[in-house]
Amino acid sequence: MKEMWSAAFFQGMHGDPLFAGLPVRVQKEGNRARIGGSEMNYINISAGGSLPARIAEGQSVAEFYDSAESMGKQMGEQQAKHLFEKMSEPSIVAQTINITEETTFDDLLALWDKMEVRFIKGMPHWPSIISNQRGLDIVRSLIECAQEDPASREKWRLLIEKKQKEFNEREARRRLVD
């Protein structure tokens, strides 16, 4: 029973497709972690719920699974909150931007310029954009317009060249030297 409850709990916790795709590092021993030299800041999160204590009547199957999933969801929401807080700190892997009707393609290029871009088989893999539907629609429209506009296309090409060079330099440093 405990295993089934846990499975439903984690299903709820990692149910969001965005978070389901993010790899989770599980601490196996010890009480602290350092990733790439930086101290991992573990934050306690908790979830609660109540179950009816009925006389001579246990939980239905639906109640059993719902309670687990609901608590898992609460945990997932808190985890997401902390994750977004972390992501809002600008770095080479994450940047924030306020997407409005005034946002331009140059703003997007400036954002990507601050970030690391990987190239797989010569093709750039631009960082993912996480936004609500409205924001995504704006970004999609900016990209479509840029593809039609020679000046924007040229700026984009120059950025790709720059990012490719940076990538190649990073790759070239993955070596054993004297």
Token pair 């001579």 is found at: 56
Interface residue with another protein, options 31, 44, 132, 133 (CB under 8 A): 31
CA distances from 30 to 24, 26, 35 (A): 17, 11, 14
C-alpha span between 3 and 60 (Å, rounded): 17
- Which one among 4, 18, 27, 137 touches another protein, defined by CB under 8 A? 27
Tell me how far apart the alpha carbons of residues 44 and 38 are, in angstroms, rounded to a whole number: 19
In whole angstroms, give the CA distance from residue 33 to residue 27. Answer: 8
Q: Which is nearer to another protein, 13 or 146 (CB)?
A: 13
Comparing CA positions, the residue from 134, 128, 20, 28 lying closest to residue 80 is 20
- 52 touches another protein (CB under 8 A): no
By beta-carbon proximity to another protein, the closer residue of 66 and 107 is 66
Residue 22 in contact with another protein, rule: CB under 8 A = yes
If one asks whether residue 28 binds another protein (CB under 8 A), the answer comes out as yes
Cα–Cα distance for residue pair 85/133, rounded to 1 Å? 20
Among residues 4, 20, 45, 158, the one that binds another protein under rule CB under 8 A: 20
Rounded Cα–Cα distance for residues 100 and 110 (Å)? 16
- Comparing CB distances to another protein, the nearer of 76 and 105 is 76
Q: By CB under 8 A, tell whether 174 contacts another protein.
A: yes
| Calpha distance 3→64 (Å, rounded) | 12
Does residue 11 touch another protein according to CB under 8 A?
A: yes
Residue 30 binds to another protein (criterion: CB under 8 A):
yes
Q: Are 48 and 110 spatial neighbours (Cβ–Cβ below 8 Å)?
A: no
37 lies in the site for another protein, by CB under 8 A: yes
In the complex, the smallest distance separating the C-beta of residue 93 from another protein, rounded to whole angstroms, is 13
Shorter beta-carbon distance to another protein: residue 21 or 150: 21
Applying CB under 8 A, the residues found at the interface with another protein are 7, 10-11, 13-14, 20-37, 171, 173-178
